[in-house]
Structure 1
Amino acid sequence: MQPRIHPESRQVVFRDHAADTAFLTRSTAVANRTIDWADGHTYPLIDVEISSASHPFYTGRARVLDTAGRLERFERRYGREAAARV
């Protein structure tokens, strides 16, 4: 890496209030607040609205699509032959 052109990377805590979870990771993000972590050190704190702990894609609580109903509508509109060609 070239000197003096990259932002400083440091340990930062990201806290997700929706899932009541906190993550300690490296980041270049700037924080105004700090938090005392379990290891006894103080780290910058960034609050986030959504993270992998609360996002439906990662938690498996995603909305289930009605794929059978969509296929039936397609076949009604375009016929069975059109569905076989696609």
Structure 2
Amino acid sequence: MKEGIHPNYRDVCFVDLTNGFKFVTRSVVQSKETIKMDDGRELPLVKLETTSETHPFYTGTQKSVDTLGGRVEKFRNKFAKVGIAKKA
């Protein structure tokens, strides 16, 4: 590999603002804030609105909401006749 073209990865602490969940991973993201970890390390801190701990897709609390006047129902009605033919 070529020298000097790869970014400087370092440990960074990400915090979910919804529930306080913290995780450390390697990243190149810049941050002005730092946090002191339990093991004594001081790491850059990045605050996130949502992570896999609180996102509805990963937590299983996802809801399907049809808010635009039955668009899903219109689609189903339109293509109901085109459906795959079942073998008799």
Which range, TM-score by smaller chain? 0.7 to 0.9
| Percent identity of paired positions between Structure 1 and Structure 2 | 34
Q: Residue 10 of structure 1 corresponds to which residue in structure 2? A: 10
**Residue 30 of structure 1: CA displacement?**
1.0
Q: Deviations over 1:13-54 (max 9, x none)?
A: 000111221111111111111000011110000011111111
Query: Structure 2: which 5+ runs fail to align?
Result: 67-71
1:74 aligns with one of 73, 76, 81: 76
**Residue 6 of structure 1: CA displacement?**
1.5
Q: Residue 47 of structure 1 corresponds to which residue in structure 2? A: 47
**1-side partners of 2:18 and 2:9: how far apart?**
26
Equivalenced residue count is 81
**2-side partners of 1:83 and 1:26: how far apart?**
48
Query: Structure 1: which 5+ runs fail to align?
Result: none
Tell whether the 8 Å contact from 1:13 to 1:25 is kept in structure 2 after alignment: yes
Q: Deviations over 1:35-81 (max 9, x none)?
A: 00011110000011111111111111111468xxx67x735x56x65
Q: Residue 28 of structure 1 corresponds to which residue in structure 2? A: 28
| Between 49-58 and 8-17, the greater mean CA deviation after superposition | 49-58
Q: Residue 61 of structure 2 corresponds to which residue in structure 1? A: 61
Normalising by structure 2, report the TM-score.
Answer: 0.73
Instruction: Return the letter of the residue paired with 1:26.
Output: R
SS of match in other structure, 2:83: helix
More helix by share: 1
